[in-house]
Amino acid sequence: MKKLLLAIGLMIVFVGAFVFYNKLYYPSLPIENMSKKEVIEKLNNSDEKIVKLLNENGQQWYIISERNIPIADEIIKEMVRQYGWVFKQKDGNGLFFEKQGENLIISTQMWTGDYVLVKIPPTLKE
């Protein structure tokens, strides 16, 4: 009986460690080609406020470690201003920018309570 309880206890510890190590307790990502663990590692290995994750289907994905959405929005605005875009308005999860008559819409998504995912169309650098 003691061996059975010990075996069950060890299995619970190993499963818990596996779940924690692979970040399986985080919600699913809207990004297909990157795991939750890779996203967190990329963010933790950077000193930047906003970290580029990858390009997927023509969209650029970034992550910001920030609980406060208005602060995350300011980080995005600061980055986009460097490419000559002018902020116009925010509507829902979209930030609207304009440059020489062209429009750019950047969408944000709170991934967990601590992270904001940012999706930027390829027109940012045009």
DSSP state letter for 109: E
* Number of domains observed in the structure of the chain: 1
Distance CA 45, CA 10 (A): 32
Query: Within 10 A of 39 (CB to CB), how many other CB atoms are there?
Result: 22
pTM of the model: 0.79
pLDDT digits (tens, 9 = 90+) for 17-65: 776 766 666 777 888 888 888 888 898 899 898 999 988 888 899 999 9
For residue 54, the enclosing domain spans 2-125
For residues 107-118, average pLDDT:
91
